[in-house]
Copies of this chain bind each other. A is one copy, B any other.
């Protein structure tokens, strides 16, 4: 007997059993189908990019996995130029810059792929995870209606996924920057303030205030004024927030200022979201959402599951002025949003909001109690598959009882049972494994019968 090495789980690299995998795949399908229904085209980029591409866009080098070959021939280098992508935005920028003359703009793409991050594994943090991104990219400009459309896509995704109530929170970075400017924050501190504010949900209001005073160097009055503004949208209806904002714009005569323009943008996006069918109780304006990335220049989004606020944002994004400035001088503005699917689905499986079902995608098991009739079982299976009913034929030799036990353990909905007597009478038995009831059906009607049960 050779020595064996029992497999060890790989921390931070999630892996599912078939029943959970089927749930995960169903969620992936919903995302994909919805993205396509809104006219987003799929692209897929390699798992790797050149190292300099990933580091230039501000990637954290400690979290980037580089590739080297385990061995190299004489005179060869085991090192490679490549590292695994840590998000789908950097690859998108490279893709659009590289292929822009073959793409039609506005370019509406979706991308559902794994990304890798060399994080220390901890609860809810993964080293390998799925992201599902949509972006609309223009050559020169993109309508603000695109900013409104993305939340409507997301709304449909999460509704169909049936994961409970959620709120898409919207804000506008231009508005925030404008407000900070009017309030007297020096231009070179605006970025720092927004970075600090971005941690609000994690560290709380008091800690943000501390950081603004001690780290960013604002005085207490200014800090209080900022925090009061950022929290002024809390618990208020959207229109009341917009009314407030417009009043402040008028008062400060800031119509042409970033503050006024940001408020106007936010209002346009909110109106667009309503027109595009996002119900009032599934979105809100949240002035405290800053998104840490300097990259964003207008609309920003975050999304929370109402019952699981500690999950953090399950879907975030925003508008950017220039997607691919590292690669091209051509201005490519756009807006994008990304679902962190692995964290979401794995957590919801964990807490039972999503429930694993069968361990097989097949709904029917054709049992094979009589070896002399294998040809008949094959024909029954083929007919069911022909009718688009996912079907397994039991191919091993086993007693019928064991076959039915197998069917129950895998979670088939129906078992087809037939022996000498049934075949002689041109019939089959159809057993509903959940209710343990049997029906005798003319053989020729099996497929239609199963289909009608599945559709009812």
Contact = CB atoms under 8 A, between A and B. Distances in A.
A227 interface: no
A275 B277 CA distance: 53
B360 A41 contact: yes
- Stoichiometry, as copies per complex, reads 2
Interface in A82-124: 82-84, 94-95, 97-99, 102-104, 106, 108-109, 114, 116, 118
A142 B395 CA distance: 8
Q: Which of A6, A142, A389 has the most CB of B within 10 A?
A: A6
Contact of A64 (B15, B70, B361, B382): B70
Contacts of A55: 70
Contact of A18 (B42, B114, B385, B389): B42
Interface stretch (A203-211, A289-297, A322-330): A322-330
Contact of A4 (B49, B62, B143, B325): B325
B37 A388 contact: yes
Given A138-B396, A149-B395, A359-B104, A390 B5 contact: no
B328 A6 contact: yes
A434 interface: no
Contact of A38 (B2, B64, B391, B410): B391
A42 B65 contact: no
A90 to B, nearest CB: 11
A37 B70 contact: no
A433 interface: no
Contacts of A56: 5
Interface string A22-61: 1011000000000011111111111111111101100001
Contacts of A449: none
Contact of A72 (B1, B14, B62): B62
Nearest to A84: B67
Contact of A36 (B71, B106, B118, B362): B362
A159 interface: no
A146 interface: yes
A9 interface: yes
Contacts of A46: 10, 13-15, 128
A385 B327 contact: no
A150 to B, nearest CB: 11
Contacts of A142: 396
A87 to B, nearest CB: 15
Contact of A80 (B52, B106, B118): B118
A68 B70 contact: no
A65 B62 contact: no
A375 B276 CA distance: 8
Contacts of A149: 393, 395
A46 B9 CA distance: 11
A44 B69 contact: no
B65 A67 contact: yes
A401 interface: no
Contacts of A67: 65-67, 84, 118
Contacts of A375: 275
A39 B378 contact: no
Contact of A65 (B2, B64, B68): B68
A235 interface: no
B39 A390 contact: yes
B390 A104 contact: no
Contacts of A10: 46, 48-50, 82
A407 to B, nearest CB: 10
Interface in A142-170: 142-143, 145-146, 149
Contacts of A104: 359, 406, 409-410
B42 A392 contact: no
A245 to B, nearest CB: 23
A61 B70 contact: yes
A4 B93 CA distance: 13
B52 A5 contact: yes
Q: Which of A38, A44, A361, A409 has the most CB of B within 10 A?
A: A361
12 contacts: A4-B327, A7-B98, A7-B327, A8-B50, A10-B49, A37-B391, A38-B362, A39-B365, A47-B114, A64-B71, A103-B359, A275-B375
Q: Which A-B residue pairs are the 7 nearest by beta carbons?
A: A39-B392, A39-B362, A61-B71, A13-B46, A36-B361, A18-B41, A61-B70
